[in-house]
Amino acid sequence: MLHRRFVIIGGKGGVGRTTIAAALSVVLARRGRRVLLAHVRTKQHVHRMLGCNELSDEIREVLPGLWAVNMTPEAALRERGLMVLRFKSVYRAVMENRLVKYFLRAIPALDEYSMLGKAWYHTTEVLDDGRPKYDTVIFDGPATGHLVTMLRIPQVIVETVPSGPLTVDAREALSLLQDPARTMMWIVTLAEEMAVSEAIDLYRWTVEDLRLSVERVVVNGVYPDSFEDPALGRALDQLRQSDGADPGVAPLVRSAQTIRSRRAINQVQLARLEQDLPLPLVQIPHLFRPEVDRDGLERIVGHLEHVVQADGERSA
């Protein structure tokens, strides 16, 4: 982890990919890495988790050693156009031409490739002294199907487009993606049936089709085992069924039973992940709050810190 240039966070929509990406970015930045957290059109309140102003399509430092950007295809295309055409006046004359805009909108997957290409480009940037501008780019990609399509684009370009500037960049991006020494993916999921099924599919697509390295599954929102004791379960059932039970106890009993049932579902799906995926699982506890704030993020950071530390000790 501490030597990877490109870390992809993938998974089903709604499983907490953005939260895990933000927490991992904080962990690496605190370990001295210069980190760029690159979101793809996120609508989540990342700035509240990080304690900064709302993110935009302009890269800015949000914490010591941590930069962040909320990428959009429009901004990514504009940035690339300015790099190629050099001057804003030339860019406006060419790229803001009505016919050119119409032509660009007709190119399949251009939006997706523009954002993946932007993230890849930032892995190649260097400072004046030759050091990487960003040691690690964490790519908070879209949901599973969209992400697989996005990651497949460089290979499609290399295989189908005649040699030229486009294929040169695509070949370098593909080389980065398929190099396990530089790139890896973490899959984020919930311990629920649909999310786990999608996580298993994503792993197979990523490894077999895209030939990318997947190193961990992060299981988000795992319910605690506080109510697993059978004797406690029987006591809760008795309280629920008792006619003379204190009315004030009833909501607590229902909450405890809900946690027990959720935990049982989690256990089934955790066992399924262990059986179907040859990957270590990182379990993040359920935070019991409607939105992850700065305090909640710090709790997740604590869990991931142990993972990164163990990776560092193992590689040393």
CATH number of the CATH domain containing 203:
3.40.50.300
pLDDT at 248: 63
Q: Is residue 274 part of a domain?
A: no
Q: What are phi and psi of 63, to 5 degrees?
A: -145, 160
- DSSP-based three-state secondary structure for 11: strand
Q: Is residue 263 part of a domain?
A: no
- Percentage of the chain beyond pLDDT 70 is 77
80 or 306, higher pLDDT: 306
Does the structure show a pLDDT above 60 at 83?
Answer: no
Does the structure show a pLDDT above 90 at 280?
Answer: yes
Q: Is residue 260 part of a domain?
A: no
Confidence of residue 82 (pLDDT cuts 50, 70, 90): very low
pLDDT at 102: 47
- Domain range for residue 45? 6-223+279-315
The token pair at 224 is: 């605690």
Structural domain count, the chain: 1
Q: Is residue 63 part of a domain?
A: yes
Q: Is residue 50 part of a domain?
A: yes
pLDDT at 105: 55
pLDDT at 237: 64
Q: Is residue 257 part of a domain?
A: no
- Cα separation values, 297 from 25, 186, 255, Å: 11, 18, 24
Most confident residue range from 47-51, 92-96, 312-316 = 47-51
Q: Is residue 291 part of a domain?
A: yes
Q: Is residue 228 part of a domain?
A: no
C-alpha closest to that of 144 among 80, 93, 89, 210: 210
Does the structure show a pLDDT above 60 at 84?
Answer: no
* pLDDT tens digits, 193-216: 999 999 999 999 999 999 999 999
First to last CA, the chain: 12
